[in-house]
Chain A
Amino acid sequence: MKAIENYAFPKTPSGISGLDEITEGGFPAGRPVLICGSAGCGKTLFAIQFLVNGILDYNEPGVFMSFEESTKDLSQNVMSLGFDLEKLKAENKLRVDHVHIERSEIEETGEYDLEAIFIRLNYAIESVGAKRVVIDTIESLFSGMKNLALLRSEIRRLFHWLKEKGVTAIITGERGDNFLTRQGLEEYVSDCVILLDFRVIEQIATRRLRIIKYRGSMHGTNEYPFLIDEHGISVIPVTSLKLDYKSSNDVVSTGLPALDKMFTGGGVFRGSSTLITGTAGTAKTILASYFAVSGCKRNEPVVYFSFEESPDQLVRNMATIELDFASYIQSNHLHLHASRPSLQGLEMHLLTLQKMLDEHKPKTVIIDPISSLITIGSGSEVRAMLVRLMDVMKTRQINSIFTSLIHRFDNEFSDAISESVSSLADTWINLRNEDSNGARVRSLLIVKSRGMGHTNEQHEFIITNKGIEFQNA
């Protein structure tokens, strides 16, 4: 948290990775939060994770009042995510109360109120000393009862009561047609409203989260993708959104001595990002592979993400130019990961990458090519993903190399993806393969390199069975 803030709005950290960064600390402490979204968007899981994290990480016991799933179902459903509710219940840190209303056995006559729900909730809160409460989904009461005016005033009273009780509460609500929730719960819970969304765009499912309202606090206003995997929910960005990473003065080799010489420092800065662009067949993958080999030679782990070639094919192709991927894979320096861009959503790709970063702790990461990702997301989404990715890698001081295919007829410096990425890249190398007097001539140009002097000529090169050879070097 920033020290310069004179007033810190009291917050309850959700413990959900990424979310607390967006909300600058978590949910408003002691107030109700409304989480709404359509069926299957992850509301219940969100709420459970808030409780479980509270218990495990912040020593704040919790109460879950369920109007839908039974206690047993709930425990079973979240077991696969590693949440052991039964254990927490046995330790007296969690209490689950299932309010089951069997319409067929109930008759209404005369006046009543919902005091029993207050009593149950109060009893549950007192019995474990709860600081966090979840009510999931109170709107189911509407289908079970006739007196809707009474129900509304009771729900209003409940939220007010929760506030007085000083617990941080999550209230879930099903997405409605004209309102955020079917019964307009947003009218009653006005401190913090979060919308979860589950969409399928071109057959690829993406979950998104947006903070619609957060009274008295700053918050991110974008739509943030989130994931549900075997560890529960994580909201992306998972790392800092600020430009505050350290910059290294170390220089690392590109893997090609002749190319190193074109930079005044004799290579690129450690932890910087390099973009390699070029039309089809300009040797982008080869150049990227040099970077990979150079990392391996420094005895550092390298992760190579291939979106076009399978690991086998890549190993075979590189062997023809004396880049020995096979032995680096064997010595555990090089980790090849190939997947089709359309296999999963952008977020999942990002997560896979993130996991590989955690697992292998690479010092060099190659993504070949980023332009393939265009097929699964719009330009702005891909850019957002790349920004996040670069952020992650910069904070970890990883050398990143991205290749990007540009089309022959495009102006090579205004191609949509290159344009969006080039501003993020510290070094930009453009490759060409053009007709010149009836022969194809390959050339390389360093378009830019931040903080580093470089040559400004087109350097011609050829590819032999020994790899890239510069003509005049």
Chain B
Amino acid sequence: MLSTYMMTKEQRWELRLYIAGQTPKSILALKNITKYCQEHLAGKYSIEIVDLLENPQLAEGDQIFAIPTLVRKFPPPLRKIIGDLSNEERVLVGLNIRPIQDEIE
């Protein structure tokens, strides 16, 4: 377990959030993911926001069908979480992010 942790230590997390305009769900999703990242991935993450109303052609590439969708571009494998990300536990599991408490143990 320790060795995998060592490997992930240097990782950067590249996330992308797909939204379609400033809807309440999208705003909530952005607020949630920013909060989780600051708590668990401080200093080693980036969040790119893609508004499909402005760039509809980008939806096909990442196979986006729901809004909002959070995509973990890096590290692989690709993961997607759809919804306003209100359940922290599921987001962390879904993105394969270890909560800080786990890392201390």
Residues of B within 8 A of A106 (CB): 79-82
- Does the CB pair B25–A116 fall under 8 Å? no
Nearest Cβ on chain B to A121's Cβ, whole angstroms = 10
The verdict on B15 contacting chain A, using a C-beta distance below 8 Å, is no
- Which residues of B sit under 8 angstroms from A141, Cβ to Cβ? 65
Tell yes or no: A75 within 8 A of B by CB: no
B59 adjacent to A112 (CB under 8 Å):
no
Pairwise interchain contact B67-A108, C-beta atoms closer than 8 A = no
Chain B residue at minimum C-beta to C-beta distance from A141? B65
> Are B65 and A114 in touch, CB under 8 angstroms?
yes
Residues of B within 8 A of A109 (CB): 81-87, 90-91, 94
Interface string of A300-316 (1 = CB under 8 A from B): 00000000000000000
Does A82 sit at the interface, judged by CB under 8 A?
A: no
Give chain B interface residues in 11-69, CB to chain A under 8 Å: 18, 20, 25, 28-29, 32, 52-53, 56-57, 59-60, 63-69
| Cβ-neighbour of A119 out of B29, B59, B87 (below 8 A) | B59
- Which of A106-132 touch B at CB < 8 Å? 106-117, 119-120, 122-123
The answer for the CA separation of A110 and B81 in the assembled complex, in Å, is: 10
Roughly how many angstroms separate A106 CA and B86 CA in the complex, as a whole number? 15
Does B93 belong to the interface (CB within 8 Å)? yes
B97 to chain A, nearest CB (A): 12
Q: Mark A305-329, 1 if CB is under 8 A from B, else 0.
A: 0000000000000000000000000
Interface residues of A toward B: which range?
20 to 34
Instruction: Decide if A102 touches B63 in the complex (CB within 8 Å).
Output: yes
Query: A97-B60, A101-B65, A109-B90 in contact; A116/B18 too (CB < 8 A)?
Result: yes
User: Is B93 a contact partner of A112 (Cβ separation < 8 A)?
Assistant: no
- Residue in B28, B29, B93 whose CB lies within 8 Å of A107: B93
Across-interface contacts of A105 in B (CB, < 8 A): 77-80
Q: Is the CB of B59 within 8 A of A123?
A: yes
- Whether B66 contacts A114 by the Cβ 8 Å rule is yes
Q: Which residue of A lies closest to B67 (CB)?
A: A115
Is B67 a contact partner of A116 (Cβ separation < 8 A)? yes
A115 contact set on B, CB distance < 8 A: 20, 52, 66-67
B84 close to A112 (CB less than 8 A)? yes
A117→B79 CA distance, assembly (Å): 19
Contact A110 B56 (CB under 8 A): no
> CA A113 – CA B53 in complex, angstroms?
14
Contact B83 A112 (CB under 8 A): yes
Nearest to A147 among chain B residues (CB) is B83
Q: Specify the chain A residue showing the minimal Cβ separation from B72.
A: A105
How far apart sit A99 and B63, CA to CA, in the bound complex (Å)?
6
Residue A340 interfacial (CB < 8 Å): no
Contact residues in B for A111 (Cβ distance below 8 Å): 25, 83-84, 86
A72 at the interface (CB under 8 A from B): no
Against B, the Cβ 8 Å flags (1 = close, 0 = not) of A81-101 are 000000000000000010111
Would you give 23 A-B contacts (Cβ < 8 Å), ordered by A?
Answer: A101-B63, A106-B79, A107-B79, A107-B81, A107-B82, A107-B91, A107-B93, A107-B94, A108-B83, A109-B81, A109-B84, A110-B32, A110-B84, A112-B66, A114-B66, A114-B67, A115-B52, A116-B18, A116-B52, A116-B66, A119-B20, A119-B56, A120-B56
Report which B residues bind A (CB closer than 8 A): 18, 20, 25, 28-29, 32, 52-53, 56-57, 59-60, 63-69, 77-87, 90-91, 93-94
* Interface contacts beyond A106-B79, A107-B79: sample of 15 additional A-B pairs, CB < 8 Å, sorted by A: A99-B63, A101-B63, A101-B65, A102-B63, A105-B79, A105-B80, A110-B87, A112-B84, A113-B67, A114-B66, A114-B67, A119-B56, A122-B56, A123-B57, A123-B59
The 7 A-B pairs of least Cβ separation, nearest first, read A107-B94, A110-B84, A110-B83, A110-B86, A123-B56, A115-B67, A109-B87
